[in-house]
Each structure stands twice: as C-alpha cells, then as structure tokens.
Structure 1
Amino acid sequence: MSGDSVLELDGVTKVYDEQPPVPALRGVSFCVRPGALVAIVGPSGSGKSTLLHVMGTLERPSSGVVRIAGVDAARLSDRELSLLRAREIGFVFQQFFLAEHATVRENVADGLLYAGVPAAERYRRADEALERVGLAERASFKPTRISGGERQRVAIARAVVGRPAIVLADEPTGNLDSTTGASIMELIRELNAAGATIVMITHDAGLADRLPRQVRMLDGRVISDCG
C-alpha cells in the first residue's frame, strides 16, 4: 500500500451477525490516490453499499484495515472517528438529504458544522462552493423551489465545502433523468479536474466505463481493478 493514498483498504471483511452469518465483504483491498476519479461498480447485492459505509467510516469492518488520509480508523474512538469523517470525507447520496426548511446556502454551510468552523467562515465557504457548482444565484432559495438536478448540485457543494480528502458519491445520478444525470457527471469531472478525489458507487457499468478507473465488485469481492 502506498503512503500517499487518501484511502486504503487492506483485507477488509464485513460479516453481519445473523443466523447464518452474512458475509458482505470478503477480503477487499485497494487504495485511492489524491486526485483520482474511481467508480466502484457491481450489481445489487455485490457489496457496494456495505463498502461505501466502511470506506466512509459509517460502519467498522469485521477485520482488515481502513485508512483515511493515512489514519487507521480502527484506532479511533467513536468521537475521534466522527471528527475524522467531518473533516476528511464528503458524502453525496442519490436522495440528496437536504433540509427543506433551510436555504440552499444554509444546507451547504451545514457541511462544515461538525468540523468546528465558525459561522461566518461556514457561509463564506458555502458561497464559494455554490459558485463552483453553478448555483450562486439560488443561495437564498429553499430546496422545494429548485429542480432535482439543482438539489444534487447543492448536495455536491455540501460534500466539497470542507475540502475533504475524499468525496464518496452513492449513485449520484440515480434519481435524475438522463440529461440531468449527464450534467451532474460533467460537474463531477470538473471538480475532479480541479483536484477533488472522488469515488463513485454505481450499478451502471456504462457509466463506470466512462471514468478513468473501475473497481468491479461481485459477491463481496473485488473481481477487477482497471485504470
């Protein structure tokens, strides 16, 4: 494993304690370097969602090592892990998860809440992030007043506002029509070209094939790693 990776998985397993036990990840190993754009691709049930949760430190692995920006996540307390997650990982989900009562600017600024950034700085950086995703003019709108594609842009702005080491995107075009989805993929490429490290979870092999690297999953294992 390389010391300059922002994300490293080494022999990671995840077994859910059911009867009989369900192995969701079976010895997954790969690393992601700064500035990469990677697709994790596989059919439903291949382990992609579990892998997302483990990479994002939302779940601890049953065995193996997960390092985020060089830090071994297993060595951290829950509080330390929450702080690491707030500072180093940005999340984008297909459901957007925006607070409907808050403005677009407030939703993006909330991405810095748990990183301990003062309010004035949160809003300044939120405005910068909205500029990056082309939504500066929508800053004062509530999410109910903007389109699905614009909501996903807000969610992406919230993910990148803290300048995390890595952005994890879970089916970011899943709830969008093809034209809007294509514009979101173009935005993801632009953010990557500007230096963001992005790992995208998808079941769409065609979409994955258009990204520089594809890690293919099946039955909880990496079956190929190309690019």
Structure 2
Amino acid sequence: MSERNVLELDRVTKTYGSQPPVHALRGVSFTVRSGELVSIVGPSGSGKSTLLHILGTLDRPSEGTVRIDGEDVAALTDRRLAALRARSIGFVFQQFFLSEHTTVLENVADGLLYGGAGRTERRERAAEALVRVGLGDRADFRPGKLSGGQRQRVAIARAVVGRPAIVLADEPTGNLDSRTGAAIIELLHELNAGGATIIMITHDGGLAAQTPRRLQVLDGRIVADSAARSMEGV
C-alpha cells in the first residue's frame, strides 16, 4: 500500500450559530492513505453528516486544517476548490441522483464533464467504468429500467470514472434490501482491491465491521480508530 496521504484532518472543528453555538465537530484529526478502505460510523446526530461535508469540500471548517490530495483546502478560492472537488473526489449517495432522461453510459460520462476530457474519451472511460461495476451490458439502458442495486452500481461507476483520489460513499446501501446492499459492499471491496481509496459514511455498525479500518464518531469527536488499535499491537 502506498504511504501517500490523500486526506488529512488536523484539529478540525465546525461550529454553527452563536446563541448558544452548536459544536458539530470538536477537534477531529485523522489521516487516510492512498488505497485504504475506511468506514466512519456513528449514530444520528454524532457529526457524521458535517464530517462528510467537510471531507467532500462542500463546507469549510470553523478551525483546523483539511488537506485533500496534498492541497490545503483553506488556501483555495471557491473556483479552485470546485476544481479540486471535481478532480479528486467521487461521491456516492444513497439516493443515486441519476438523470432519468439519459442513458446509463451518459450518466457515467457526465462524471468527467469538468475534467477537460473530450466527448469520445468521456464515453470510452464511462464504458470501462461500467464494465468494472458489472454493467457493461447495460450502457444503453435508461436508469428507470434498472433495479435499485444496478442504479447504485451506475452511481459508483460515475464516482470512480474520473479516477479520483478519494471516493466518498454516504450510506451507499441505505435504500437497498440486505442482499443487494451486501453486493454493493462486495463491489466497494473489489474496487478498493483494485486501488481505489474509499471512505464510507454509515450508521450501520455491521457494515462498518466489514471494512479494514473503522472510525467511530460520537458527539463530534473521533472516539475510536481501529487503525490506532492495530498500531498499538505492532
């Protein structure tokens, strides 16, 4: 596994309002290396959603440092931050967010719209990504013709097509039955084995237990990191 850090958080806090302030994150620090598969697990209200927004550069911290693929987020203008997000982060959400009026291939190719690739290259890379997720034979279908599990595979293909430094998966099995959800988790493991760095946000401790590294969030703090325990045993 590469030792390159693709994500670094150092004493990150996020506070909303002032009367009284709401402390959503309280001094969060951790590092993710290239090629890791990490779950961030915690109950509702623990700070997971706020942390997801920070990791995805959709929100900025009140204090502390966030580095994505070596870039200090605080030093970037909104335009450069959007470019970093498009280049370095792939998103997978439980709602899929697919366009019903375009084909599966076009949905995936849209993940490259802001990367500067031409139409032919976008379509070729989208076709390759669909093969990776087991949907090479569904490229010309529209999302409405697919099952929930297949739609999530399309969303995952769109997230990885740009070969981002990090794939953020927010409750990726939340809208799926248990059998289909298990297949999606297996796919994430396969993509990780192929080199993808994946961070999965979940409230499900059972799903988190299936990942090599687990970060537990409670009251805006990281209260457990399985990697830290592993290091103690070395």
TM-score normalised over the length of structure 1: 0.97
- Displacement of 1:61: 0.5
> Which residue pairs with 2:88 in the alignment?
88
> Which residue pairs with 1:177 in the alignment?
177
Matched AA of 1:6: V
> Which residue pairs with 2:230 in the alignment?
none
- Displacement of 1:67: 0.3
> Which residue pairs with 1:78 in the alignment?
78
Alignment of 1:62-211 (within 5 A): 62-211=62-211
> Which residue pairs with 1:30 in the alignment?
30
> Which residue pairs with 1:47 in the alignment?
47
In structure 2, how many angstroms separate the alpha carbons of the residues matched to 1:21 and 1:27? 15
- Displacement of 1:119: 1.1
- Displacement of 1:21: 1.6
What are the Cα deviations for residues 3-25 of structure 1, in whole angstroms up to 9, with x where unaligned? 82000000001111253221110
What are the Cα deviations for residues 145-204 of structure 1, in whole angstroms up to 9, with x where unaligned? 100000000000000000000100000001000000000000000000000000000000
Q: Secondary structure at the match of 1:196?
A: coil
In structure 1, how many angstroms separate the alpha carbons of the residues matched to 2:141 and 2:21? 47
What are the Cα deviations for residues 21-42 of structure 1, in whole angstroms up to 9, with x where unaligned? 2111000000000000000000
Matched AA of 1:42: G
- Displacement of 1:123: 0.5
Matched AA of 2:57: T
Q: Secondary structure at the match of 1:6?
A: strand
Q: Secondary structure at the match of 2:174?
A: coil
In structure 2, how many angstroms separate the alpha carbons of the residues matched to 1:175 and 1:215? 23
> Which residue pairs with 1:19 in the alignment?
19
Quick check: 1:58 aligned with 2:61? no
What are the Cα deviations for residues 89-123 of structure 1, in whole angstroms up to 9, with x where unaligned? 00000000001111100100000111221111111
Q: Secondary structure at the match of 2:5?
A: coil
Quick check: 1:212 aligned with 2:206? no
Report the more deviating stretch, 113-122 or 169-178.
113-122
Extract unaligned runs of 5+ from structure 1: none
In structure 2, how many angstroms separate the alpha carbons of the residues matched to 1:208 and 1:29? 19
Matched AA of 1:207: L
In structure 2, how many angstroms separate the alpha carbons of the residues matched to 1:58 and 1:115? 18
- Displacement of 1:43: 0.3
What are the Cα deviations for residues 33-65 of structure 1, in whole angstroms up to 9, with x where unaligned? 000000000000000011010001000110100
Extract unaligned runs of 5+ from structure 2: 228-234
